C-alpha cells in the first residue's frame, strides 16, 4: 500500500483484511508519509503529507507497527525510506 493507510477511515480493519487474504508466506509493504521527516521539519504547513485525513494527520511509526502486529503480522520491520533527489 503506497500512501493509503493514512487516508482510510479504519486502518485496523484494512490491515486485518490484508492479513486475511495474504498467504502465509505473503508480504505486505506499507508506505506512508513520515511526519518526523526532514521534509516535514523544513516545510511545515507546506509539506505535502496526508491532506485528506482528519487531524492528527499521519501515523507515527510506533502506532503503525502496533496496528500491523495487532492485525496478526509477524516479522514487522519499520524503516524510513530515503528520498531520491536528482
pLDDT for position 31: 82
Q: Provide the residue ranges of all domains of the chain, joining segments of one domain with +.
A: 5-70
What percentage of the chain has pLDDT greater than the value 90?
Answer: 27
In eight-state DSSP terms, residue 81 is P
Q: Which of 46, 50, 69, 66 is nearest to 58 (CA)?
A: 50
Q: Is the pLDDT of residue 6 over 90?
A: no
Whether pTM > 0.95 for this model: the answer is: no
Is pLDDT at 55 greater than 50 in this prediction?
no
pLDDT digits (tens, 9 = 90+) for 62-75: 788 889 999 999 88
**pLDDT at residue 79 in the model:** 76
Amino acid at each position: 500500500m503506497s500512501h493509503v493507510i493514512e487516508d482510510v477511515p479504519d486502518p485496523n480493519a484494512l490491515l486485518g483484511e490484508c492479513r486475511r487474504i495474504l498467504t502465509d508466506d505473503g508480504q505486505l509493504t506499507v508506505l506512508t508519509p513520515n511526519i518526523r521527516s526532514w521534509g516535514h521539519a523544513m516545510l511545515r504547513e507546506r509539506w505535502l503529507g496526508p491532506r485528506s485525513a482528519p487531524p492528527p494527520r499521519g501515523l507515527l511509526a510506533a502506532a503503525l507497527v502496533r496496528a500491523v502486529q495487532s492485525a496478526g503480522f509477524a516479522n514487522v520491520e519499520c524503516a524510513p525510506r530515503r528520498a531520491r533527489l536528482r
